[in-house]
Amino acid sequence: MTGATQADTYSGGFRQPVFDAQGVFRVALDALARPGRIMPLAARTKPPRPMPPLLADILSALADQDTSVFLCPALLAKAPSAAGWVRFQTGAANVKNPAEADFVVASHPENLPPLSQLSPGTPDYPDRSATVLVAVPGFDGGLPVTLSGPGIKDKIAFSPDGMSRGLWQQLVANHALYPRGIDVIFVAGEAVVGLPRSTRIEIGEV
Amino acid sequence: MYVAVKGGERAIRNAHRLLADKRRGPRNLPDITLEQIASQLALSVDRIMAEGSLYDRDLAALAMKQARGDLIEAIFLVRAYRTTAPRFGFSEPIDTSKMSIERRVSATFKDLPGGQLLGSTFDYTHRLLDPTLQGAEIEQAARADVTDEDRPMPRVTDLLAHEELIEGDGEAEEGAEVGDLTREPLSFPAERDLRLQTLARGDEGFLLGLGYSTQRGYSRTHPFVGEIRVGMVEVEIEIPELGFTVSIGEIQVTECQMVTQFQGSAKAPPQFTRGYGLVFGQGERKAMAMSLVDRALRAREFGEDVVAPAQDEEFVLSHSDNVQSTGFVEHLKLPHYVDFQAELDLVRRMRREYEDRTADEGKEAAE
Amino acid sequence: MNETAAIDAKDAAPVYNFAYLDEQTKRMIRRALLKAVAIPGYQVPFASREMPMPYGWGTGGVQVTASVLGPDDVLKVIDQGADDTTNAVAIRGFFEKTARVATTTVTEEATVIQTRHRIPETRLGANQILVYQVPIPEPLRYLEPREVETRKMHGLAEYGLMHVKLYEDIAKHGHIAATYAYPVNVNGRYVMDPSPIPKFDNPKMDDCEALQLFGAGREKRIYAIPPHTSVVSLDFEDHPFKVQEFSEPCALCGSRGVYLDEVILDDRGGRMFVCSDTDYCERHRPEDGTAPVAVWEEER
């Protein structure tokens, strides 16, 4: 390991680990409790570039030696030291097979593995499922979808940039597995949006 | 005018002050020291360590003093402390065959390599109250020099294993992870590692009753004490950076290997089976009860019918922890007036309906 | 604000982490909470820790509160609806000591409310989290004691047993005999135990603005109801769900449509009914202090 990447690996974590973790978690909790709502979240970490800081924030708050993390190959290609950073900062094991991961992390929706490969939990233990953390270029300008279900009063429109119709269809299929399924947290800039498995998705405007 | 009862905060403070006063007791008596508790009430301290699942004599003695001798309260104090302690790693399995033995008895063989060693025991004492213990300074007990036995004492189960008369030690597969119910919630069916962990932390009285029930026919296993051994074992830990293990100290444990019956099956020849018990400190009663219950809980493994409470994994494991059971039983003294009000309302309503009904029936009968 | 708080001001040691729990435990609970929110009404197993208070006395709620609480939160703790019941006082004191957070008795001011057995009468808002202490999280437990079986029933959404039990009640007593911990169906999927709140409070859970979190420490389960989630009390067409009605208003503040405690005044049947929600009651008293005191006499 070169000096530069070592510095990368050991620095840039939470500065106030207790309060930073709590702050990030509360926003993530709120995001999954109110799907489709844009929740501001200021980045607290400085992971190796170009890893989006909010992905690193959420991992730092939630991942540890009891969990495993899959980082998408595209992210690792651009930020090779990200794997070491996540490992050092959280203690979580990096896994090559997304099916084994508790957290599946992608720097762009296009880089996500097929969602059907990820663990949706079992009928008896639907909680034993993957959580997807994915960065999008922005929360508007993309293909519009309409969300409804728990956490949403009536309906809410959502149109994150970078999401293809095919990916939305995979998420529709994910909801059909309910109560099994994966849960997604989108990040863009300094905000996050939650999309749990419980959310009904209609592709198209309200 | 009615004023609701207030001042919970002050009431609590006063109650705790009173508790501290009672704990100290009459001031003309010397305050009991932790050293005295740890050395002279050592078996209570051992039980606190075992069920508190923390090997620390000083903390266990402190907990005992703080709890005014209430062992379950002391166990609870130790558990609450333990749960916040950081984890540095996991020890290697302790090797009880290398124990430096203080006591060792076998009920299955009159003599055996290493011999029997009674050590310190209540066994064969006449249970007559001893007046010489009344006055502290009157009679110094005879000093007994104890030398740990250095001669090799192979485990009885290892001796039996030579003839394959007894099943082997439950060898885990290479790389298998040992469960830890303090880190992962217990789910059912539970494997033997988690069952043994639960039993080792479990309430001595509860396991004693269950073990006893197996002797009285509720899942009889024809047990023999293959061996009970008490002594010190080394705890080793692997340091990944160094690539080898180092000893971090010694702990006293009591191990019981219960030899039990198995008829054999179409696939396996007849062979003795085992129940296993291991506790921190000297705790023979608990180790023996644990080994009986461990064997009973292996019913599934041996294809035995689950017909008795001691064989019922979910029943035994869910109710053996005294910190859990004492909490839930004692929570009944917390206010429940909201629920009780709801029940009162229903009972009143149902009684009115009952009275209306019987009145109607009375009228009809009269007509 | 420090990340650690001394547990005892007199004695600097031992020093515990902010809100008592260590960070690894908080992460484990937080992961469970996120899954709980994603699967409304489903009981997520978690590795509950021994807390410095007994199991059954709110350890589940305390662990959830400790995991969500931040330095800017304002905490309210109630037991039986009241801020001044001994266990509420003890739990509030625990967080004052270990997290040094601001506390309040005023429902609207709180961002986190930990409760045992009641939902406040004041309507909860979107910026609030209600944390319930849960003794037995499994609604099917009294019908089937085995976890292996009840887990299967939830997996298959096989709730026939529950409906049979409720209907047997009606056949035998003319009523569903459950008056508290009355089972609900959450988001049309999971049957859930709302903890031993009186069924009077059940309707408040439906389409609630606040996030509702449930912690069962001894039983090692966490579950949740996100805001605006459908929560339906189980019933039958010919026996619709009905809440308890009180014939008298609160004797202290005169409020109607609130849940009342029965207070026995003497040994001759004298009694009065007062709000169980002490905060609500105190803030609804008439200004001149001449609230009508209605002593309810047993109907003879």
* Any C CB within 8 A of A79 CB: no
In a domain? residue C227: yes
How many Å apart are CA B146 and CA B282, to the nearest integer? 16
Range of the domain at B77: 3-82
DSSP assignment of chain A equals --HHHHHHHHSSS-SSHHHHHHHHHHHHHHHHHSTT--EE------PSTTS-HHHHHHHHHH--TTSEEEE-HHHHHH-TTHHHHHHHHH-PEE-S-GGG-SEEEESSGGGSPPGGGS-B--SS-TTSB-EEEEE-S-SSSS--EEEESTT-SS-EEE--TT--HHHHHHHHHHHHTTTS--EEEEEETTEEEEE-TT-EEEES--
How far C137 CA sits from the closest chain B CA (Å)?
A: 13
C199 and C252 together in one domain: no
Closest-approach residue (CA) in chain C for A22: C70
CA torsion sign for C228, C234, C239, C243 is negative
| pLDDT score at A45 | 96
Of C40, C156, C228, Cβ closest to residue A152: C228
Give pTM, 2 decimals. 0.88
| pLDDT score at C268 | 87
In a domain? residue B343: no
In a domain? residue C204: yes
B292 and B315 together in one domain: yes
B315 and B260 together in one domain: yes
Judging by DSSP bridges, how do beta strands A103-106 and A93-94 pair with one another?
unpaired
Contact C86 B331 (CB under 8 A): no
C215 and C261 together in one domain: no
pLDDT grade, residue B175 (50/70/90)? confident
B306 and B192 together in one domain: yes
Residues of chain C neighbouring B339 (CB-CB closer than 8 A): 117, 179-181, 196, 198
- The domain tally of chain C equals 2
Residues of chain C neighbouring B182 (CB-CB closer than 8 A): 47, 49
pLDDT grade, residue A14 (50/70/90)? very high
B210 and B263 together in one domain: yes
B31 and B114 together in one domain: no
For the cut 70, the answer to whether the pLDDT of residue B148 exceeds it is no
To test the contact with chain A by mutation, choose from C23, C33, C37 the residue with the greatest count of A C-beta atoms within 10 A, namely C37
Tokens of B355: 């009275």
Give chain A's domains with CATH numbers: 3-203 (3.40.50.11310)
B202 and B275 together in one domain: yes
* Any A CB within 8 A of C28 CB: yes
Of C22, C117, C251, Cβ closest to residue B84: C22
Range of the domain at C96: 9-141+168-233
In tens, the pLDDT along C230-289 reads 999 999 998 999 998 898 899 999 999 999 999 888 888 888 999 999 999 999 988 766
In tens, the pLDDT along A25-54 reads 999 999 999 999 999 999 999 999 999 999
In a domain? residue C147: no
To test the contact with chain C by mutation, choose from B51, B319, B330, B334 the residue with the greatest count of C C-beta atoms within 10 A, namely B334
| pLDDT score at C171 | 85
pLDDT grade, residue B264 (50/70/90)? confident
Of C24, C38, C70, Cβ closest to residue A32: C38
Share of chain C above pLDDT 90, in %: 74
For the cut 70, the answer to whether the pLDDT of residue B214 exceeds it is yes
Of A34, A64, A197, Cβ closest to residue C227: A34
How far B6 CA sits from the closest chain C CA (Å)?
A: 6
How far C260 CA sits from the closest chain A CA (Å)?
A: 31
Q: Which of B329-343, C81-95, C201-215 has the highest mean pLDDT?
A: C201-215
pLDDT grade, residue B367 (50/70/90)? low
Contact A18 C3 (CB under 8 A): yes
Q: Are C291 and C251 in contact (CB under 8 A)?
A: yes
For the cut 50, the answer to whether the pLDDT of residue C12 exceeds it is no
Chains that touch B (3 or more CB pairs under 8 A): C
In the block, tokens 């055996």 appear at B112
Is the peptide bond between A137 and the residue preceding it cis, with omega within 30 degrees of 0? Answer: no
C108 and C222 together in one domain: yes
**H or E element: which one contains B74?**
helix B71-82
Average pLDDT over residues B69-81: 96
pLDDT grade, residue B154 (50/70/90)? confident
* Any A CB within 8 A of C2 CB: no
Average pLDDT over residues B145-152: 66
Average pLDDT over residues C4-11: 47
In a domain? residue B31: yes
In a domain? residue B306: yes
Of B5, B314, B330, Cβ closest to residue C54: B330
Residues of chain C neighbouring A21 (CB-CB closer than 8 A): 23, 26-27
How many Å apart are CA A59 and CA A73, to the nearest integer? 17
To test the contact with chain B by mutation, choose from C55, C89, C273, C278 the residue with the greatest count of B C-beta atoms within 10 A, namely C55
Strands in C271-275's sheet, in edge-to-edge order, are C260-264, C271-275, C295-296
In a domain? residue B189: yes
Contact A127 C26 (CB under 8 A): no
| pLDDT score at A3 | 40
Contact B76 C54 (CB under 8 A): yes
- Is the pLDDT higher at B140 or at A82? A82
Average pLDDT over residues B326-335: 93
B236 and B296 together in one domain: yes
In the block, tokens 């004797």 appear at C251
Residues of chain C neighbouring B345 (CB-CB closer than 8 A): 179, 244
For the cut 90, the answer to whether the pLDDT of residue C27 exceeds it is yes
B221 and B291 together in one domain: yes
In a domain? residue C20: yes
Residues of chain B neighbouring C262 (CB-CB closer than 8 A): 337, 341, 344
How far A90 CA sits from the closest chain C CA (Å)?
A: 10
Share of chain C above pLDDT 70, in %: 91
To test the contact with chain B by mutation, choose from C50, C147, C221, C275 the residue with the greatest count of B C-beta atoms within 10 A, namely C50
| pLDDT score at A2 | 40
B65 and B107 together in one domain: no
- Helix A17-33 to helix C59-68 angle, to the nearest 10 degrees? 100
For the cut 80, the answer to whether the pLDDT of residue C72 exceeds it is yes
Q: DSSP state, C20?
A: B
B201 and B320 together in one domain: yes
Residues of chain C neighbouring B356 (CB-CB closer than 8 A): none
B68 and B113 together in one domain: no
Q: Which of C182, C208, C233 is the last residue of a domain?
A: C233
Closest-approach residue (CA) in chain C for A128: C35
Contact C146 B324 (CB under 8 A): no
C90 and C122 together in one domain: yes
* Any A CB within 8 A of C187 CB: yes
In a domain? residue B277: yes
How many Å apart are CA B297 and CA C69, to the nearest integer? 42
B195: helix, coil or strand?
A: helix
* Any A CB within 8 A of C231 CB: no
Residues of chain C neighbouring B351 (CB-CB closer than 8 A): none
Share of chain B above pLDDT 70, in %: 93
B226 and B307 together in one domain: yes
In a domain? residue C96: yes
Please calculate the CA angle B296-B302-B306 and round it to the nearest 5 degrees: 50
How many Å apart are CA A2 and CA A19, to the nearest integer? 32
- Helix A82-90 to helix A3-10 angle, to the nearest 10 degrees? 40
B185: helix, coil or strand?
A: coil
Average pLDDT over residues A153-172: 97
Closest-approach residue (CA) in chain C for A60: C27
C194 and C59 together in one domain: yes
C173 and C219 together in one domain: yes
Task: Provide the β-strand partners of residue A108.
Answer: none
How far C229 CA sits from the closest chain A CA (Å)?
A: 5
How many Å apart are CA C179 and CA C84, to the nearest integer? 24
Q: The CATH number of the domain where C205 resides is what?
A: 3.40.50.11310
Average pLDDT over residues B304-332: 95
Of A34, A124, A152, Cβ closest to residue C152: A124
Residues of chain B neighbouring C181 (CB-CB closer than 8 A): 339
Residues of chain C neighbouring A31 (CB-CB closer than 8 A): none
Q: Which of C233, C253, C270 is the last residue of a domain?
A: C233
| pLDDT score at B66 | 97
| pLDDT score at C7 | 43
To test the contact with chain C by mutation, choose from B13, B72, B84, B347 the residue with the greatest count of C C-beta atoms within 10 A, namely B84
Average pLDDT over residues C200-208: 97
B333: helix, coil or strand?
A: helix
**H or E element: which one contains C233?**
strand C231-233
DSSP assignment of B272-299 equals BEEEEEEEESS-HHHHHHHHHHHHHHTH
DSSP H stretches of helix in chain C:
23-38, 59-68, 86-99, 147-156, 160-173, 202-205, 278-282
| pLDDT score at C298 | 34
Q: How many CB pairs under 8 A join A and C?
A: 112
| pLDDT score at B8 | 73
For the cut 90, the answer to whether the pLDDT of residue A172 exceeds it is yes
In tens, the pLDDT along A127-138 reads 999 999 999 999
Catalytic sites of C, residue numbers: 41, 250, 253, 275, 281
How many Å apart are CA C128 and CA C124, to the nearest integer? 7
- Is the pLDDT higher at A105 or at B367? A105
- Is the pLDDT higher at B243 or at C276? C276
Of C17, C218, C251, Cβ closest to residue B324: C218
C225 and C249 together in one domain: no
Chains that touch C (3 or more CB pairs under 8 A): A, B
C229 and C254 together in one domain: no
For the cut 50, the answer to whether the pLDDT of residue C167 exceeds it is yes
Q: Which of C233, C265, C287 is the last residue of a domain?
A: C233
Query: Phi then psi for C45, rounded to 5 degrees?
Result: -70, 140
Judging by DSSP bridges, how do beta strands C184-186 and C15-17 pair with one another?
unpaired
Chains that touch A (3 or more CB pairs under 8 A): C
Residues of chain B neighbouring C148 (CB-CB closer than 8 A): 188-189, 314
Across chain B, what does the average pLDDT equal? 89
Of C86, C135, C261, Cβ closest to residue B337: C261
C300 and C187 together in one domain: no
- The domain tally of chain B equals 2
pLDDT grade, residue B228 (50/70/90)? very high
| pLDDT score at B168 | 79
How many Å apart are CA C291 and CA C248, to the nearest integer? 13
C174 and C300 together in one domain: no
| pLDDT score at B241 | 76
- Is the pLDDT higher at A146 or at C11? A146
Poorest-confidence range of B100-109, C58-67, C122-131? B100-109
In the block, tokens 């960070």 appear at C23
Average pLDDT over residues B178-189: 89
Average pLDDT over residues B268-273: 84
Residues of chain B neighbouring C116 (CB-CB closer than 8 A): 334
Of A19, A30, A62, Cβ closest to residue C27: A62
In a domain? residue C154: no
How many Å apart are CA A195 and CA A175, to the nearest integer? 10
pLDDT grade, residue A4 (50/70/90)? very low
C83 and C177 together in one domain: yes
Q: How many CB pairs under 8 A join B and C?
A: 150
C39 and C176 together in one domain: yes
